[in-house]
Structure 1
Amino acid sequence: MPQEPTFQGMYNIVYIDEKWFYRTRKCQKYYLALDEDKQERTTKSKNFIDKVMFLAAIARPRYDGDGNVTFSGKIGIFPFTFVEPAKRRSVNRPAGTMVTKAMTSVTRETSREYLVNKVLPAIKQKWPAEEIGTPIFIQQDNAKTHIAIDDLEFSHVAMEDGFDIRLMCQPPNSPDLNVLDLGFFAAIQSIFQKLSPSSVEDIVAKVIQAFDEYPIDRSNRIFLTHQSCMREILRQKGGQHYAIPHLKKQSLERNGVLPVGLQCDPEIVNEAIEYIN
């Protein structure tokens, strides 16, 4: 064990997860100027509000020596939707118009299709060229609808074009070990709610807009918070009851000393290893 063990940069991990985005909430607060009109919100029933599930994929951003972004880490966010002709006419459209609808359930076959046909092509398109051939890990949670880490169809496509992409699962009951659950989803949810979508198509467009608008530097900070959570889990020898530490990341970033990886007390690491053994 080195004298000052430090977490790796985690640049070769792509985190994926699903999340529902609702068109509105039952109770939603708006802050308006004196001359600003109140937001109009209508729905047939407050118990059946339009919603769409999305699959998000994100990696850690890259910077050059001058602090310029060379890779945003935003692999993509993909809606679980389908298009079909409208069966009835309405005041907004005639019958037969192609409309976008949300999938009500996601199966293992759907998860495989999205991984193979959407996530993998997006990774191969956006991944830094100089890192092609090095192992890339896609971390998913343990939902029953997710595919096995040795799925043959996924593995075949993942090894094409010179890439070495592998699946792995995060520890059970550990949402803090996925940067999407830890902070990214909550951040883009906050941006999305300000855009007040009016339909399923609008939900899709504005979630993608919120995903694209989220600042890259804040995304990078979530990875350091992720490492601080791992450090606390080591301190508790696998425990999950802890307060997320405040690292003053903004101050460190302003002073140009934001680390790539956090240091960890070697005694904590050794005690955790002895506990495991």
Structure 2
Amino acid sequence: MGVSQSTVWRWKTKEIIRKHTNAIKPLLNDKNKLDRLIFCLSSCILDDEGINFRFNDMSNSVHIDEKLFYLTRTQQTYYLTPDRNLSFYNSSFSLEELKEQEEREHRDQTSIRNKWPQEASKKIFIQQENAKPHILDDDLRFREAATFEGFDFHLVQQPPNSPDMNVLDLGFFRSIQALQHKKSAYNYTQMVRAVTNAFESLQPSTMKFVWITLQACKVEVIRKLGA
């Protein structure tokens, strides 16, 4: 902050500043910064003179990610053996079977096709993070289904350690969780109901501002050369 430690301590005791943990900004190495810079520049369109730029409208981009909602604000850690059933899924899936199910879901574009506006471009880019269950664009089974019914799906990997490059982590999940925490949930069924209600009550206009925030983040990444 450009001030001495004694000044910071005085501000803290007078509650002028307060402690805040920001999980959206992890530590970045040089490779991460380069990947972030290239990723943000790939979203830009230069003018005819090659000086000014604007972002593409991202109207054919779909961001996917996972989010674990907790029953309380206190985070709890659980350890499961590979052969233990997860009863809260109301199923007998093992952890390995759940991983395989997630991989199948990432290959299935049915829900996107069913909800996609008729007038929108059918060349769709699905952005995903780099979690192990996720597949790559050259996955054979994904490519077989990628051009079904005139659609043309492509998978895009967001840069590592960059949750701020995904609208879900950047703001959408936080908005849902803020509403979910207003409801008391004492078991898994109540928690699912609270999350579902929060999703349904969230105004679509909120997403507009999250996308604008994403563009603002990309501008700062470009200005700071990936930082």
**Aligning the two structures, in what range does the TM-score lie when normalised by the shorter sequence?**
0.5 to 0.7
Partner of 1:20: 68
Q: CA-to-partner distance for each residue in 1:140-181, whole Å, 9 max, x for gaps?
A: 011122112211112222221111111110011111110111
Residue 53 (structure 2) pairs with residue 5 (structure 1) = yes
What is the one-letter code of the residue matched to 1:129?
A: Q
* Higher share of residues assigned helix: 2
**Superposed displacement of residue 212, structure 1:** 1.7
Structure 2 stretches lacking a partner, 5+ long: 1-45, 79-87
Residue 149 (structure 2) pairs with residue 149 (structure 1) = no
**Superposed displacement of residue 238, structure 1:** 1.3
Quote the Cα distance in structure 2 between the aligned partners of 1:102 and 1:191. Answer: 30
Structure-to-structure mapping, 1:93-112, within 5 angstroms: 108-112=99-103
Quote the Cα distance in structure 2 between the aligned partners of 1:106 and 1:22. Answer: 23
Partner of 2:42: none
Q: CA-to-partner distance for each residue in 1:50-71, whole Å, 9 max, x for gaps?
A: xxxxxxxxxxxxxxxxxxxxxx
Partner of 1:238: 226
Structure 1 stretches lacking a partner, 5+ long: 28-45, 49-80, 85-100, 240-277
Assess if the C-alpha contact under 8 Å between 1:116 and 1:154 holds in 2. yes
Structure 1 segments of 4+ aligned residues over 6 angstroms from their partners:
none
What is the one-letter code of the residue matched to 1:124?
A: R
The percentage of aligned residue pairs carrying the same residue is 39
Partner of 2:199: 211
Quote the Cα distance in structure 1 between the aligned partners of 2:134 and 2:209. Answer: 28
Structure-to-structure mapping, 1:1-277, within 5 angstroms: 1-2=46-47, 4-26=52-74, 82-84=89-91, 108-117=99-108, 120-131=109-120, 134-239=122-227
**Superposed displacement of residue 103, structure 1:** 7.4
Q: Equivalent residue of 2:193, what SS?
A: helix
Q: CA-to-partner distance for each residue in 1:93-149, whole Å, 9 max, x for gaps?
A: xxxxxxxx89767865222222234xx2211111101225x3100000111221122
Quote the Cα distance in structure 2 between the aligned partners of 1:25 and 1:113. Answer: 31
What is the one-letter code of the residue matched to 1:126?
A: K
What is the one-letter code of the residue matched to 2:118?
A: A
Q: Structure 1 pair 24/11, CA: closer, same or farther in 2 (3 Å)? A: same
Q: Equivalent residue of 1:137, what SS?
A: strand
TM superposition score normalised by structure 1:
0.56
Higher-RCO chain (CA-CA 8 Å, sequence separation at least 6): 2
Quote the Cα distance in structure 2 between the aligned partners of 1:238 and 1:193. Answer: 34
CA RMSD, 1 decimal: 2.6
Q: Structure 1 pair 198/225, CA: closer, same or farther in 2 (3 Å)? A: same
**Superposed displacement of residue 202, structure 1:** 2.1
TM superposition score normalised by structure 2:
0.67
